[in-house]
Structure 1
Amino acid sequence: MEKQKFTKMALLFLSFSSLIAISRGIVSNRIGINYGHLGNNLPSPARSIELLGNMSVGRVKLYDADHDILNLLSGKDIEVAITVANDEISGIAANQHLADQWVYEHVLAHYPSTRIRFLLVGHEVFSSISTPADLQIARDLVPAIRRIKSTIKAQGIRNIKIGTPLAMDMMETTFPPSNGSFKPEVREFMGPLLRYLNGTKSFFFVDVYPYITWFESQVWNQTAINLDFALLRSGNESYTDPKTGLVYTNLLDQMLDSVVYAMAKLGYNDVMLAIGETGWPHEGESGANRENAAEYNNNLVRKMSAVPTIGTPARPGEVIPTFIFSMYDENQKYGPATERHWGLLNPDGSPVYEVNITSGV
């Protein structure tokens, strides 16, 4: 009886979500790429922007707001996401003048000729809250977002969405998706953030990596996740959520919907999702090879740029703006070898493996 009640509520929730998706208007489903430059062998910014055009990339996400790159993107048919550095957040939160200055220098100096569409405040801020300084940044995140929003709004700009990308380590539970919940230590920050995103019809940006979840399931030697499921190979495996009855054919949907249900548990059923980062490494540890990377990213592009839009089981038909990680291998990144081998392109601009960014459009 309890299961039937939950299922009816879930179906009601899904129907409502579908109506919300329809009412939001048209959101582009063109695929984006993360353009980082932590490498000493990478092409120049000018060559990089040329390569983005050759790949027919619809969006690019920067981990800063580099003036040279933003100038080079001027007049291009590429939507741009720019980022406020974590160490700038507390100052902006405390001082409207600093927020104004940041927007004037990094947005108004380039907009509208450069198609800035997303302004991301910080990067994975909730992933590190173990020190007093990190905790303060987490507390200052939403106040900083609101100050920047105030400046943007005062300039009459309506087509730049402001948010922040968060990693999946914010989650306490992701399986089954209907059990999705945020870690207790981040819930105090999550409420104000979701309130802002809901009130401004902005996106909840998630950095989501099925590869990492799959790899950890192998290492821990618990219930190992099937590789087909992680690579988005359709039709080879499925999982039915016992509470909702929703059927999952890939790990990405499962992870995204766990966030959907975690938000719903805090009272926010309809905040839109965006994928700030996702991808598959082509070299390094187990499962990291060019064949798997090509399959994951091509399957991802087909899914996220499909017409009509697919969405996820809990958000059917909803466009999820998606940025692949990453444009290049970045040889100055720290960590295991895998960290330095997520790129789609070699330093000379040739493809590491073939990916059709425009598939399905």
Structure 2
Amino acid sequence: MAFLPDASLFILLNILIGINIARSEPFIGINYGNLGDNLPSPEDTVKLLQSTSIQKIRLYSPDIPMIKALANSGIDIVVGTQNSEIPALASDPNAAKTWINTNVLPFYPASNIFLIMVGNEISLDENFRKQLLPAMQNMQNALDAGSLGGKIKVSTVHSMSVLSHSDPPSSGEFQTWLVDVMKGFLGFNNATGSPFVINPYPYYAYNSDPRPGYLAYCLFQVNAGRVDPNNNIKYMNMFDA
């Protein structure tokens, strides 16, 4: 599963394509950033989304009016916690229970929250890194206590910078100094069936690669594709790679 970063403007600036790991079901969704002027109301936004093929939406924080507006809309919801909430969520199981009781239980299942993201791109932050996994575990325990453990997953969103290499795909590996930490996150994902989530930054990849035809490769347009020389797998777009 992958999400593009929020540009802090309007929701349609950020289109994402992801894979629901549990159901192996491709989908199109958007990141909803509500920092801007003259934004449509939550109700109008939902109507706009329903007029498209968008099936999922990511909220960077518990936007209650939007969560309410999405009730019975057929659009699945990812809800994130603020990074500043992580120390409390990590140290106090009751803080996690309060978060779930406030932001999830009153609206589920009419508002189909299917994934909770604990923080955004903080696995590289030394001040938060050690607290992230305990916070995720406490959130999972809170969901279990509310009989939602098998229905709503918990994960976090990583920066692409957790990878020391990513091109070609077969050479992908985590930063050496992050390996032990990432093992903990991946162990949690594996044990709970939750997705590993990362923010790709297509523009920066495109800007640093002068090879011809790369723009079409980035934009899902017709192109010759690229072959990974280590395994001969051919990728037809950068997202797939």
The verdict on a shared fold, with TM-score over 0.5 as the criterion, is yes
CA distance in 2, matches of 1:231, 1:70: 31
- State the Cα deviation string for residues 160-210 of structure 1 (Å, max 9, x = none): 111111121211111221111111232232110000001111101121132
- Percent of matched pairs sharing the same residue: 29
Tell me by how many angstroms 1:41 deviates.
2.4
Question: Which residue of the partner structure matches residue 35 of structure 2?
Answer: 38
> Are the aligned partners of 2:22 and 2:193 in contact in 1 as well (CA < 8 Å)?
no
Match of 1:29 among 19, 26, 29: 26
Rg comparison, structure with higher value: 1
Aligned ranges 1:107-256 → 2 under 5 Å: 107-127=104-124, 129=125, 135-157=126-148, 158-218=150-210, 226-234=214-222, 236-254=223-241
> Are the aligned partners of 1:214 and 1:224 in contact in 2 as well (CA < 8 Å)?
no
CA distance in 2, matches of 1:229, 1:59: 24
Aligned residue pairs, count: 221
CA distance in 2, matches of 1:113, 1:226: 43
**Which structure ranks higher in relative contact order (CA pairs < 8 Å, sequence separation ≥ 6)?**
1
> Are the aligned partners of 1:214 and 1:225 in contact in 2 as well (CA < 8 Å)?
no
Say which SS state the counterpart of residue 80 (structure 1) adopts: strand
> Are the aligned partners of 1:228 and 1:237 in contact in 2 as well (CA < 8 Å)?
no
Question: Which residue of the partner structure matches residue 104 of structure 1?
Answer: 101
When normalised by structure 1's length, the TM-score is: 0.58
Aligned ranges 1:258-273 → 2 under 5 Å: none
Say which SS state the counterpart of residue 206 (structure 1) adopts: strand
Change (3 A) 1:54 1:233: closer
Structure 1 unaligned segments of length 5 or more: list them: 1-20, 130-134, 255-361
- State the Cα deviation string for residues 47-86 of structure 1 (Å, max 9, x = none): 2122122224211110111111111112221111100111
Tell me by how many angstroms 1:249 deviates.
2.2
Q: Which moved more, 1:45-54 or 1:139-148?
A: 45-54
Amino acid at match of 2:121: E
Would you tell me which structure has more helix in proportion to its own residues? 1
Structure 2 unaligned segments of length 5 or more: list them: 1-18
Tell me by how many angstroms 1:27 deviates.
4.3
CA distance in 2, matches of 1:195, 1:114: 29
CA distance in 1, matches of 2:31, 2:121: 15
Amino acid at match of 1:141: L
> Are the aligned partners of 1:84 and 1:121 in contact in 2 as well (CA < 8 Å)?
yes
Say which SS state the counterpart of residue 172 (structure 1) adopts: strand
CA distance in 2, matches of 1:140, 1:117: 23
When normalised by structure 2's length, the TM-score is: 0.85
CA distance in 2, matches of 1:43, 1:25: 33
Tell me by how many angstroms 1:225 deviates.
6.7
CA RMSD of aligned residues (A): 2.0
Question: Which residue of the partner structure matches residue 270 of structure 1?
Answer: none
CA distance in 2, matches of 1:89, 1:79: 24
Amino acid at match of 2:240: D
Amino acid at match of 1:183: Q
